[in-house]
Amino acid sequence: MQAKYRKVAVGGTFEHFHRGHQALLSKAFELGEKVLLGISGEKLASRKGVTQSLELRTQNVRDFLRSRGWEERAIVFTLEDPFGPAPEDPELEAIVVSEETEPAAREINKLRGERGLKPLDIVVIPWVLAEDGLPISSERVRRGEITPEGKVIVGEVKMDTRPSKDEYYLGIAKSVAQRSPCIRRQFGAIVVKEDVVVSTGYNGPARGVVNCMEVGCLKEEMKVPHYTGYEWCIGVHAEENCIINAARHGASVLGGTLYLYGQDYRDGSLVEGRPCDRCKRVLINAGIKRVVIKRADGSILKLDVEDWVKEDTGSYKKKLLEVRRHGSRVEG
């Protein structure tokens, strides 16, 4: 059967090479005469918690290509950035992605448009499911939940192989973040009381207002650094929306724990998002007792909101003294 495209792109970490990876590559080689195949380098992969070496992941991919007779049609390279050459390769016609990485493909097309290149056809491969009905992923294989073929591991699995409660709730916050229409950084927040999720929220504009996916990002075009220039952003922060949504539905967050997860829109890598001063004050007044954050290195940061009260008090008193001492010369 003749290939639909002369050249297509596909990429990933390819950690614990599994059936989902096989489906992704099979579709790429079904559609393309030549396949530009990027494998995440060590630095890029480490952002996603990958533990297997680049050498092993590359060998596993090459072994699969060889078993299918596709090796000569593949252009295998190491991805040192989220997009590789896809935004500027004029010969590329399509890109094959998973549901998780589709946002990155849209960003690639945006960059190609800025360079005067045709957008790529985006081919999305649905999740390949394990026997428990949940998606097969490298993360699940790494945790020992399933095999690369999707079989559930039973028998000698110990209770401590389950994610902790904080990890579990941060996983839910991650799903919430993926609903954010922000094209820079996506954040998801949930409030939990007595092991019940009582509210969720992600960063995005006020209800009914256009979002950045529709019209573009002002901060991005002005090259405003992250965590600054909030006055240029149309969005409401995830923490704020979480508290607002609880109020809209009459749910109490008093005494609850807020979980916050952040990721880069382009490649899904972890982003540490500590609440800004404005959000801290919202959480203090809402009665949140604890904030749990997924850090950029994959670790978990736990914060006591009561400490923010002391910090805010001390900071305000310090600024007040400086103003009284120096007058209008004090900034920030």
Rounded CA Rg of the chain? 23
For residue 148, is it within any domain?
no
Same domain, 174 and 312: yes
For residue 224, is it within any domain?
yes
State the residue for tokens 């990027």: 38
CA dist 286 → 4, 101, 164, 259, 290 (Å): 56, 35, 26, 14, 12
CATH number of the domain residue 78 falls in: 3.40.50.620
Same domain, 245 and 299: yes
- Of the three residues 113, 143, 173, the one that is the final residue of a domain is 143
Residue count of the chain? 332
Answer whether 204's CB lies under 8 Å from 180's CB.
yes
Same domain, 245 and 288: yes
Per-residue pLDDT of the chain (332 residues; tens, 9 = 90+): 688 999 999 999 999 999 999 999 999 999 999 999 999 998 888 888 898 999 999 999 999 999 999 999 999 999 999 899 999 999 999 999 998 899 999 999 999 999 999 999 999 999 999 999 999 999 999 989 999 999 998 865 444 567 889 999 999 999 999 999 998 899 999 999 999 999 999 999 999 998 888 888 888 888 888 767 777 888 899 999 999 999 999 999 999 999 999 999 888 889 988 899 999 999 999 999 999 999 988 889 999 999 999 998 888 888 888 888 887 654 54
Residues marked as catalytic: 239
For residue 153, is it within any domain?
no
Same domain, 21 and 114: yes
- Of the three residues 108, 143, 178, the one that is the final residue of a domain is 143
Same domain, 250 and 129: no
pTM exceeding the 0.75 threshold for the entire prediction: no
For residue 315, is it within any domain?
yes
Sheet strands side by side (includes 300-304): 196-202, 185-193, 257-264, 290-294, 300-304
Same domain, 206 and 308: yes
Cα distance between residue 120 and residue 95, in whole Å: 6
Among residues 58, 79, 85, 65, the alpha carbon closest in space to that of 24 is found at 65
Token pair listed for 142: 């790494």
Same domain, 128 and 195: no
CA dist 149 → 15, 142, 155, 226 (Å): 13, 13, 17, 40
For residue 231, is it within any domain?
yes
Its domain, for residue 123, covers 5-143
Q: How many domains does the chain have?
A: 2
For residue 268, is it within any domain?
yes
Neighbouring-strand partners of residue 242: none
DSSP state at residue 145 = S
Same domain, 210 and 178: yes
Cα distance between residue 80 and residue 42, in whole Å: 8
State the residue for tokens 């500027």: 88
Same domain, 108 and 172: no
Neighbouring-strand partners of residue 294: 300
Cα distance between residue 246 and residue 264, in whole Å: 26
Residue 12 dihedral angles phi and psi, to the nearest 5°: 170, 180
Token pair listed for 40: 């995440």
pLDDT on residue 159: 44
Same domain, 115 and 255: no
- Of the three residues 110, 143, 176, the one that is the final residue of a domain is 143
CATH number of the domain residue 211 falls in: 3.40.140.10
* Angle at 164 (CA atoms; ends 278, 272), nearest 5 degrees: 35
Cα distance between residue 210 and residue 217, in whole Å: 11
Same domain, 202 and 100: no
For residue 15, is it within any domain?
yes
Same domain, 195 and 320: yes
State the residue for tokens 């999740």: 127
Q: Name 330's Cβ contacts closer than 8 Å, sequence gap at least 6.
A: 319, 322, 323
For residue 154, is it within any domain?
no
DSSP characters over 21-85 = HHHHHHHHHHHEEEEEEEEE-HHHHHTTT--S-HHHHHHHHHHHHHHHT-GGGEEEEEESSSSTT
